[in-house]
Structure 1
Amino acid sequence: MGNIGFQVVIAMIVGTTVGALMGNQAAIFAPLGTIFINLIKMLVIPLVAVALISGAAGLGHSSNAGKVGLTTLAYFALTSAAAVALALVMGVIFKPGLGIDVSGVQGMFSTEYAAQGNLPTFWQTITGMIPTNVFKSLNNANILQILVFCLFFGVALAKQPKERREPITNGVNTIVDCFVWMINKVMIIAPLGVFGLMAEAVGTFGFSALTVVLKLFVVYVLAILIFGFIAYPLMIQLFTKTSAKKFILAMKKPQAVALSTASSMATLPVNMDTVENELGVKNSTVAFVLPLGATINMSGNAIYYGLVAIFFAQLFHIDLSMGAYIAIILTSTLGAVGQAGVPGPSFLVVAVLLAAGIPIEGLPLLFALDRIFDMIRTALNITGDAACALIVDALVEQEVQVELQNQES
């Protein structure tokens, strides 16, 4: 696994070059990417299930379980809201939607996505999270339902007597280790898969589609870099004993995998391995925080939603009120939490635009490039998950030390 990150980066560069040279013919390499992604998908849902049970069981019999859960959720909500706020500020300063001539691409405008922008109500979200058949949830890869059941089951396991609990938890931890071993073997072919994915993406869409949204893309990448290389490392420096430099260096491998797969879920095993073995976070914290984060922590998506809203408001010359800005922040944060960590066109941006009263006709301009936007925001999402695991682990460690000092005194 040592040099997989470097190999993946080389594969991305070679794949991009081949895609640019071959154009649509680069689609012949698509099966390489499909095989790699399918192997990851085969393993990742059962891994999430057993890792969450393991993490919840590990935390469930400690006095800090509630604090870990609340701190994790508060962190996800606050960083997502901060990410949208940063996106709005960047949008107002750099004005990516002004001065763009869309006359040549007017034919791409469409209202067909308007019906897909309905965010579920609060109660629909809550009731939708509770599985009526957990096997059906596993079969349909309904991540939120799997998450609720596995956390509940893990806590229940933790409450059993020690002599009855330990054989089961040992067995679950062994299964987690088996999945990690399997995914390490799959990662051997990661460079081939990444080459196929990149060659197809660049060959199919080319760089011509970037010209219309080039300014948006540049501002978006800048916002992602600020959050990923300034905000998160600063939090690590302030709230943990790990240095920001060590964190940034350790995250290179998971970020390379996230960039290539555009999936928080596909990157989860590599992220768990890095956070536990290179950054020294306890297994119980890693097994709880990272699967949860891969499901509901989407700060990269939040930045995307906020910037796209500003972009189209400026494109259609709409002056946003303070109410519209608040609507964007709230809808983007809720939308980011509700988006499962898998790649694909993000229709939640429709909900964000509708909430702020911004026309959605121009959205197809972005869909051709969604894969590229998705790759970049996924790299930020998994960085945020890792930062959360480190911060939560450090806070729990402090609590334990304070309790020990109190007992001694």
Structure 2
Amino acid sequence: MSQSKSLLANIGVQVVIAMIIGTAVGAFMGHSAAMFAPLGAIFINLIKMLVIPLVAVALISGAAGLGNSTNAGKVGFSTLAYFALTSALAVALALIMGEIFKPGVGIDVSSVEGMFSGEYASKGELPSFWATVTGMIPTNVFASLTNANILQILVFCLFFGLALSKQPKKNREPILQGVNTIVDAMVWMINCVMKIAPIGVFGLMAEAVGTFGFSALMVVFKLFLVFIAAILVFGFVIYPLLVQLFTKTSAKSFLVAMKKPQAVALSTASSMATLPVTMNTVENELGVRNATASFVLPLGATINMSGNAIYYGLVAVFFAQLFNIDLSMGAYVAIILTSTLGAVGQAGVPGPSFLVVAVLLAAGIPIEGLPLLFALDRIFDMIRTALNITGDAACAVIIDNIAIEASDLTESEVKQS
């Protein structure tokens, strides 16, 4: 009896139960379930209120901690290399599964032509390389904070944290203690907000299922199944395998620890909203040091989008098959590059993803059929976000292990000399 009570007291279990009840209520009530939308909106707004300040102070703390170490450059390079490689691998997996299971074959185009639209052609322009780089540098950091421009906040806070680490110890220590105290205070606030998470999750799920229903799934049902399969392969095979191979953490303990952040990611469809929960799990359950978690996780929530990469790759194959277009090797390369690079500019917040337009245009695939996906974008978004944050956590565990080994190696070299 006491064991079942303690299980029900677990916030992760409560969130999953709330998702199930919300789904059932949404399916039963239909559009009337929109009456529960304010519950979800209040929860999301409370999280958004705290996320930007938390990201800012956590990045400053993480960058300052890393800047003090001898292997800061190695940690930064390894993190970026991991994000790039896993995103490219995710797109490649999506393309392979798309070609094997052919989700776009056998659909009668004439039956869905009424949903086609040409209005999205102008939304697929990716900024040039230099436009992206200059756009990352804030001219007014307070405006960046006000507008929640995550990339600009990230650049300034990393630079500022690094600068703090280079100051004399007696000058920097009080400031860093203050920053870390603010991080602790923000985490306390987040924990308070998480107590109402089940209520918010119930509202979000009831509205999503009630508004879109399951009928919209039928047209893209095969695509949805292949997408789920690809996400499961990447999230429950590839990431745990990487953790098992490159760290002392077992794949099983990694997957068990990730249940709670995955449940929150599924319900909020936002890497940023899930960030506090991911940080708490990675530090307290997976034993990652605060300096590593504070650097890797906010960075990952901004630029690591392996779930999105899988989605872009599969959608490209889906529409190519729908319109009977044979993709060349050049088109495959264009899809992989656009999906991998484009995800960097996609902030970790929920909403219809127009980056898929850029991917389709890069491969010469018609984009008129995109409205077929928009009704289900929230459901796709929820699932790919769960994979995104799993990748962030796996990265933090792996990078922390690399950093510890590198520091141990340096210490032994010092002793020998």
Give the TM-score normalised by the residue count of structure 1.
0.99
2:70 maps to 1:37:
no
Q: Percent identity?
A: 80
Question: What is the correspondence of 1:157-172 to structure 2 with a 5 Å cutoff?
Answer: 157-172=164-179
Which amino acid in the other structure matches residue 345 of structure 2?
Answer: G
Which amino acid in the other structure matches residue 87 of structure 2?
Answer: S
Q: For 2:56 and 2:260, how far apart are their aligned partners in 1?
A: 24
How many residue pairs end up in the alignment?
409
Which amino acid in the other structure matches residue 155 of structure 1?
Answer: L
1:181 maps to 188
Cα distance, 1:198 vs structure 2: 0.3
Q: For 2:342 and 2:26, how far apart are their aligned partners in 1?
A: 33
1:221 maps to 228
1:9 maps to 16
1:63 maps to 70
2:18 maps to 1:18:
no
2:105 maps to 98
1:255 maps to 262
Cα distance, 1:363 vs structure 2: 0.2
Whether contact under 8 Å (2:70, 2:407) holds in the other structure is: no
Classify the secondary structure of the residue corresponding to 2:240: helix
Which amino acid in the other structure matches residue 319 of structure 1?
Answer: D
Which ranges in structure 1 are unaligned for 5 or more consecutive residues? none
Structure 1 residue ranges, 4+ long, deviating more than 3 angstroms after superposition: none
**Residue among 146, 156, 164 paired with 2:153:** 146
Deviation readout 1:209-265 (Å, 9 max, x if unpaired):
000000000000000000000000000000000000000000000000000000000
Which amino acid in the other structure matches residue 379 of structure 1?
Answer: A
Question: What is the correspondence of 1:250-329 to structure 2 with a 5 Å cutoff?
Answer: 250-329=257-336
Whether contact under 8 Å (1:309, 1:352) holds in the other structure is: yes
1:207 maps to 214
Q: For 2:337 and 2:77, how far apart are their aligned partners in 1?
A: 20
Whether contact under 8 Å (2:63, 2:291) holds in the other structure is: yes
2:52 maps to 1:52:
no
Which amino acid in the other structure matches residue 8 of structure 1?
Answer: V
Q: For 1:122 and 1:322, how far apart are their aligned partners in 2?
A: 23
Q: For 2:97 and 2:88, how far apart are their aligned partners in 1?
A: 14
Q: For 2:238 and 2:93, how far apart are their aligned partners in 1?
A: 11
2:253 maps to 1:240:
no
Q: For 1:154 and 1:360, how far apart are their aligned partners in 2?
A: 43
2:120 maps to 113
Q: For 1:378 and 1:96, how far apart are their aligned partners in 2?
A: 22
Which amino acid in the other structure matches residue 317 of structure 2?
Answer: I
Q: For 1:406 and 1:153, how far apart are their aligned partners in 2?
A: 31
2:372 maps to 365
Which amino acid in the other structure matches residue 384 of structure 1?
Answer: G
Question: What is the correspondence of 1:359-398 to structure 2 with a 5 Å cutoff?
Answer: 359-398=366-405
Q: For 2:215 and 2:18, how far apart are their aligned partners in 1?
A: 22
Deviation readout 1:74-114 (Å, 9 max, x if unpaired):
00000000000000000000000000123332111001011
Q: For 1:305 and 1:187, how far apart are their aligned partners in 2?
A: 31
Q: For 1:317 and 1:166, how far apart are their aligned partners in 2?
A: 63
Which amino acid in the other structure matches residue 47 of structure 1?
Answer: L
Classify the secondary structure of the residue corresponding to 1:341: coil
Deviation readout 1:118-176 (Å, 9 max, x if unpaired):
00000000000000000000000000000000000000000000000000000000000
Q: For 1:151 and 1:61, how far apart are their aligned partners in 2?
A: 13
Which amino acid in the other structure matches residue 173 of structure 1?
Answer: N
Whether contact under 8 Å (1:102, 1:212) holds in the other structure is: no
Give the TM-score normalised by the residue count of structure 2.
0.97
2:3 maps to none
Which amino acid in the other structure matches residue 33 of structure 2?
Answer: A
Of stretches 102-111 and 211-220 in structure 1, the one that deviates more from structure 2 is 102-111
Cα distance, 1:337 vs structure 2: 1.6
Which amino acid in the other structure matches residue 294 of structure 2?
Answer: A
Classify the secondary structure of the residue corresponding to 1:97: coil
Which amino acid in the other structure matches residue 278 of structure 2?
Answer: N
Q: For 2:348 and 2:9, how far apart are their aligned partners in 1?
A: 25
Cα distance, 1:334 vs structure 2: 0.9
Classify the secondary structure of the residue corresponding to 1:100: coil
2:139 maps to 1:132:
yes
2:390 maps to 1:399:
no
**Residue among 67, 82, 88 paired with 2:89:** 82
Deviation readout 1:31-82 (Å, 9 max, x if unpaired):
0000000000000001000000000011111111111100000000000000
Which amino acid in the other structure matches residue 214 of structure 2?
Answer: F
Which ranges in structure 2 are unaligned for 5 or more consecutive residues? 1-7
2:5 maps to none
Classify the secondary structure of the residue corresponding to 2:352: coil
Classify the secondary structure of the residue corresponding to 2:21: helix
